[in-house]
Structure 1
């Protein structure tokens, strides 16, 4: 099992209605599985997740097929940044 402590930032937190949550996924779950589970039933969050960067244990996930490590992990959901 993977237990993810998910932290949402900026617009992602607004869309999620919270700045953090916990989610449990089965062994072998991927970043894509995590994104799907987070957005389930939340159309605005699903839309925002489509443009966010996902960091797993401090490392940006390369794509949705990337497997999540087993155990407890920290996940950050980072919307695009603007400015310079």
Structure 2
């Protein structure tokens, strides 16, 4: 099923891709997707759908897929602060 992301979430994804391109680093897909999910929690979009959108939008970037649970927990805690 195709998920329609809000314009705000799509903008955040584009910003994250641009930031990764400018940094010249590796895009950590799961950690970035979790930050976006928490920022747009009211959109109620699954982490996997955001990760898929990131991978599609940043297909020319080197990516890391698969993050330790400790990294995701740290992302959640820092976003809650």
Does TM, normalized by the shorter one, top 0.5? no
Greater fraction of residues in helix: 2
Q: TM-score range by the shorter chain?
A: 0.3 to 0.5
State the TM-score, normalized to the length of structure 1.
Answer: 0.36
